[in-house]
Structures are given as C-alpha cells and as structure tokens.
C-alpha cells in the first residue's frame, strides 16, 4: 500500500502536471470504485484544479468551488500519467491499462487509476469542502505539519516528542500495530513501520506501555529520519517524471521484503511474521535480543519444532 513517502511523491508529480488545469471529463470504468453519489461525479467536469493535499494515505485533488476528488489506492491501486489527448490514449492497447478503474481526462493529459489483481479495494470519493474531507479522516495525527506539495522539497516540522509519546501510550498495543493504526498516526503502513522499527532497534511486538523514555525517543527519531530519508530517495528516483514504480518492496530497505537476507547492521538473516495478507519483517539480533517471533501459520504446524532463537536456525 502506498504510504506517506509514496503519496508525497505522487502529489508532487501531480502538482507539476494538473494544478491550474481543467478536468474535461471523468470516465469511471469500475462500478465499485466510486463510493459517493452526492455531489455527482459530473460536477467536477469543466473545473480547474486549485489544490492538492494528502489525507493519511489518500490523495486529495481540490477543484474550484471546494470540490475534492479523494483517491485511496489501498494495496494494489496505482496512478499513471499520459501527456496525451483522450483520443490517442484510447487508441493504446498496452497491457498496463487493462486493469483500469477510472480515467481523468485533463486539458493537457490523462490520469489513469489502475488496480492489479481481482479484488477491488481502491476507492474514489467526491466530497464538498473541509467538512467532506474531515468525514474521511481516520483521526490519526499528521506527523509533519505540511500535507501539501512543496516545490522546495520540505515536509514541514515533525511532531514533537511529548505529543508523539502521548499518542503512542494512549492505547495498549504492540509497536507494529500502533505505528500502522490510522487512528493514532497518519500515513504509516506495513512497509515503513518495519523500516522504522529496525532503525529504532525495537521489537515489533513490544507493548507500548512497557517502553522506556529512551526507547520512545529512539522511536521518535527513527520515525522522523526514516520517512524523511525515503521521501528524499523517492524524489531522486522520480526526478521530473511520474512515479510509475510504486512498490512496498524497494532496493535499499533494511528489513521489509528481505526475508532470509542479511541484516545490513549485523548480518543476521531477516525474519518475518506472516498474518492474513501482511507480514512483519525484523532482525532478531538487532530488535528482539536473539528471540524468534512465532509465525502464526508455521509455529502452529511445527509446534515444539519451531525454533526459538537465532542459533536454532542453524
């Protein structure tokens, strides 16, 4: 799922292309995509883009008269830009466009929303004004003061340690769950929470009430530094182009998607916990004191044969 760094770079690329441009027409291809009926989707046609911002993991495109198109890409949704006319785009037969959910035809090109796989989880809302945007807000604190594209490359000021601590300790959760809970922190998901916890050298299953002040300070710094670092990396990767290679598994990540590969810090094979469609990746030496965390599927199958320490991995 695209997270804060990915959404930030998407917004910056969109800002360079569609701000001030007129949306000529909207073509909804998947009937499951549009989740609102009022205002009607046709009401944004013929209007110019006046604003863009991030709302958690959502991309918000503002139009004249305070109308907002709000896109949530979920896990497999992606955006594509073609600086072409509607006629030339329609003539394309590229397989990249077979999973189209919607087309937004601007006066200078077309924004395409696609979703891989058969499950249709991506969503599109059209809402009116700040009240409409607030109705989609999950309530988590924004970690940086700016949620709008910044052509100077800034993200604004990061949340201070005192507020970070209050939010983190407001509920009794594991660190992994707390970081990814959109009711607590906005914009962090499965991939970057793994990276943050590796940098902080903290176990993903440690409970928030049991954290020391020093551990919270490490987590606060790791959250700030990891997100800033990856926004910077993705900006360099994208340049002036459009981000077409948005993925949760990136070269240069320390743990996420690196199961059995050596930890960049200590060389221990990265381990994982799998659950549902997600997985948590961690270094047992750097983060859990050498203890292997039980994978729900395999540990139930192997029972006593499930290894408990790094040494037992052989």
Per-domain residue ranges of the chain? 4-137, 161-313
CATH entry 1.10.8.50 includes domain 161-313: yes
Fold of 4-137: N-terminal domain of MutM-like DNA repair proteins (3.20.190)
Closest C-alpha to 114, from 143, 144, 82: 82
- 0.85 surpassed by pTM: yes
Weakest mean pLDDT among 91-105, 120-134, 168-182, 286-300: 91-105
Quote the pLDDT of residue 120: 84
Contact 110, 116 (CB under 8 A): no
For the residues 212-227, what does the mean pLDDT come to? 98
Determine how many CB atoms are found less than 10 A away from the CB of residue 33: 20
Quote the pLDDT of residue 38: 95
Which tops the pLDDT comparison, 161 or 150?
161
- Classify 20 in phi/psi space as left (phi over 0), alpha (psi -120 to 50) or beta: left
For the residues 81-90, what does the mean pLDDT come to? 66
Closest C-alpha to 5, from 151, 191, 183: 191
- 95 vs 80: CA distance, rounded Å: 13
Q: Tokens for 280, please give them.
A: 């948590």
Quote the pLDDT of residue 126: 98
Return phi, psi of residue 201, to 5°: 55, 50
- 256 vs 212: CA distance, rounded Å: 25
60: which DSSP letter?
Answer: E
Quote the pLDDT of residue 302: 39
Q: Which helix (H) or strand (E) holds 234?
A: helix 213-238
For the residues 186-200, what does the mean pLDDT come to? 96
As beta bridge partners, residue 246 has none
Contact 53, 60 (CB under 8 A): yes
Which tops the pLDDT comparison, 90 or 233?
233
Quote the pLDDT of residue 276: 65
Quote the pLDDT of residue 31: 87
For the residues 78-103, what does the mean pLDDT come to? 69
Q: pLDDT-based confidence at 154, cuts 50/70/90?
A: confident
Measured CA distances, 312 to 178, 259, 269, 287 (Å):
30, 17, 12, 17
Quote the pLDDT of residue 312: 37
Closest C-alpha to 143, from 182, 202, 190, 187: 187
Quote the pLDDT of residue 97: 55
Q: Which helix (H) or strand (E) holds 47?
A: strand 47-55
Q: Tokens for 275, please give them.
A: 């659950």
Contact 280, 174 (CB under 8 A): no
User: How many angstroms separate the first and last alpha carbons of the chain?
Assistant: 34
């Amino acid at each position: 799922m695209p997270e804060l760094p990915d959404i930030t770079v998407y917004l910056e690329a969109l800002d360079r292309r569609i701000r001030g441009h007129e949306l000529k027409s909207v073509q909804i291809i998947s009937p499951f995509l549009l989740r609102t009926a009022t205002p009607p989707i046709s009401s944004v046609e013929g209007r110019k883009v006046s604003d863009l911002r991030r709302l958690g993991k959502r991309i918000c495109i503002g139009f004249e008269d305070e109308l907002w198109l709000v896109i949530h890409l979920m896990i497999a949704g992606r955006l594509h830009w073609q600086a072409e006319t509607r006629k030339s785009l329609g003539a394309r037969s590229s397989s990249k466009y077979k999973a189209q959910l919607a087309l937004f035809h601007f006066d200078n090109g077309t924004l395409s929303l696609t979703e891989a796989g058969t499950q249709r989880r991506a969503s599109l809302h059209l809402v009116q004004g700040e009240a409409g945007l607030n109705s989609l807000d999950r309530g988590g604190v924004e970690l940086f003061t700016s949620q709008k594209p910044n052509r100077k490359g800034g993200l604004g000021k990061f949340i201070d340690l005192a507020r970070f601590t209050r939010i983190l300790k407001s509920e009794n959760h594991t660190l992994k769950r707390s970081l990814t809970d959109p009711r607590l922190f906005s914009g962090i998901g499965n991939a970057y929470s793994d990276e943050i916890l590796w940098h902080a050298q903290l176990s993903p299953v440690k409970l928030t009430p049991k954290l020391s002040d020093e551990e919270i300070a490490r987590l606060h710094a790791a959250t700030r530094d990891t997100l800033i670092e990856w926004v910077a990396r993705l900006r360099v990767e994208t340049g002036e182009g459009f981000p077409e290679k948005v993925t949760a598994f990136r070269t240069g990540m320390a743990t996420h998607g690196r199961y059995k590969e050596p930890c960049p810090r200590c060389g221990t094979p990265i381990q994982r916990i799998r659950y549902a469609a997600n997985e948590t990746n961690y270094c047992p030496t750097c983060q859990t004191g050498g203890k292997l965390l039980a994978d729900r599927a395999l540990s139930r199958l192997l029972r006593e044969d499930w290894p408990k320490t790094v040494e037992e991995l052989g």
